[in-house]
Structure 1
Amino acid sequence: MIELDDVGYSYGGGELLSHVSVRLAPGSFHFLTGPSGAGKTTLLKLCYGALTPTSGVVRAFDGDLRGLDRGQTALLRRRMGVVHQDCRFLDHLPLADNIALPLIVSGRDMAQESANLKELMGWVGLTARADARPPELSGGERQRAALARAVILSPDVVLADEPTGNVDWEMSMRLLTLLVELNKMGKTVLIASHDLGLIRAAKSQVQARVLRISNRQLQLAGADL
């Protein structure tokens, strides 16, 4: 699905990532850990083409991301669901419409998709907030909405940057269950997270690899997690 081959990335004159090689195979489940500022968000951005590596090659679905034009990049990103930390929404639209935006952009029949939208909003506990505008939402509600929007098209790959950072434990487990179910359907999942409790919970449900960024490089974390 996604492969980084000897990738390096420099920012502001300093090297943030160096000699990173990893393959996210179809149907695999990965966690990405490391201290703040280690480069977790940067690595995710490299995976979906928001950043271009300083060295090395990033491939997605067997294609080199450097060779894609704007149209090809747009089509590629429809196959990737990305949960950003900053949770950007259109403030003038109700929450349900914000979550449904990928369906609208891709030309889906909204009448046929309405049941799926309602079910997904129920999964993330936002049914009662369907008509709320984004400025009215709490941080946790925005985070749940971001995850719902990222998976609404049932993408082949889900890349999530701290998807449970602003929610309580019960909701974290609910969101984890959704991601695990997507993985069991064959989706590739990569989650950047500081939460060791979440990682341990996931490892009891799914075969998850844990990757750690340390000293600018990517390592396979030990079995103690």
Structure 2
Amino acid sequence: MIELHKAGYSYGQDAILRDVSLQLAPGSFHFLTGPSGAGKSTLLKLCYGDLLANTGTVKLLGQDARDLSRDALAKVRQRIGVVHQDCQFLDHLSITQNVALPLAVSGRDVEAEAENLAQLLAWVGLSPRAHALPPELSGGERQRAALARAIIMGPDVILADEPTGNVDWEMSQRLLSLLVELNKMGKTVLIATHDLGLIRAAKAQVSARVLRLAGGSVQLAGADL
């Protein structure tokens, strides 16, 4: 689904990533761990075309990211759902409207998708909050809304950047269960996190590959996790 081959990225003279080679196969589940500032968010941005590698190649759904036009990249991104760490919403729109934004942007009939949208909100446990505004939500509710928005287009790949970083352990487990369920539906999942407890909990539920990012390179983590 996504393939990096000796990919590197630098901010000015500072090399954040060096010679990163990584394959996200269909239906696979990966964790990306490493210390703060190691480049986890940068790597995720390469994986959905928000950044272009300075060196090496990045293929998104079989296409070289460098060769994608703006329209082609937009189509590719419809198949890659992203749960951002900061969970930004439009505060004047309800949660239902915020979750439905990708449908509207892509030109799909939001009213025709109303039933699917309602089912999705129920799946993430937000039906009672469907008409609430983002400032009225708790941290866990915002994260679940962010997940719903990321998958509203039915993507093949879900990338989550520290999705449990601002919630308690119980909510972390709930979010993890949703992501595991998506993986069991055949979705490819990559979660960037520094929470080793979350990784250990996931390995009891799903066959997860754990990658460690350090010194700008990615390596397969040991069995001690």
Normalised by the shorter chain, which TM-score bucket?
over 0.9
- Deviations for 1:89-135, whole angstroms, at most 9, x for unmatched residues? 11211111101112223344434433332232233332222212223
My pick for the range that moved more, 35-44 or 198-207, is: 198-207
**Contact between 1:29 and 1:209, CA under 8 Å: does it hold in 2?**
yes
Tell me, yes or no, if structure 1 residue 71 matches structure 2 residue 68. Answer: no
Which residue of the partner structure matches residue 195 of structure 2?
A: 195
Count residues with an aligned counterpart: 225
Which residue of the partner structure matches residue 130 of structure 1?
A: 130
Q: Which amino acid aligns with 1:3?
A: E
Which residue of the partner structure matches residue 211 of structure 2?
A: 211
**Contact between 1:123 and 1:174, CA under 8 Å: does it hold in 2?**
no
Q: Which amino acid aligns with 2:42?
A: T
Q: Once superposed, what is the RMSD of the aligned Cα atoms?
A: 1.4
**Contact between 2:213 and 2:219, CA under 8 Å: does it hold in 1?**
yes
My pick for the range that moved more, 101-110 or 84-93, is: 101-110
Q: Percent identity?
A: 70
Query: Which structure 2 residues correspond to residues 1-225 of structure 1 after superposition, within 5 A?
Result: 1-225=1-225
TM-fit CA distance, 1:190: 0.3
TM-fit CA distance, 1:54: 1.1
Q: Which amino acid aligns with 1:145?
A: A
TM-fit CA distance, 1:220: 0.2
Q: Provide the rounded CA distance (Å) in 2 between the counterparts of 1:142 and 1:177.
A: 16
Q: Provide the rounded CA distance (Å) in 2 between the counterparts of 1:36 and 1:104.
A: 35
- Structure 2 residue runs of 5 or longer lacking an equivalent are none
Q: Provide the rounded CA distance (Å) in 2 between the counterparts of 1:27 and 1:82.
A: 16
Relative to the length of structure 1, the TM-score reads 0.95
- Deviations for 1:55-107, whole angstroms, at most 9, x for unmatched residues? 00000111000001110011000000001112121121111110111222334
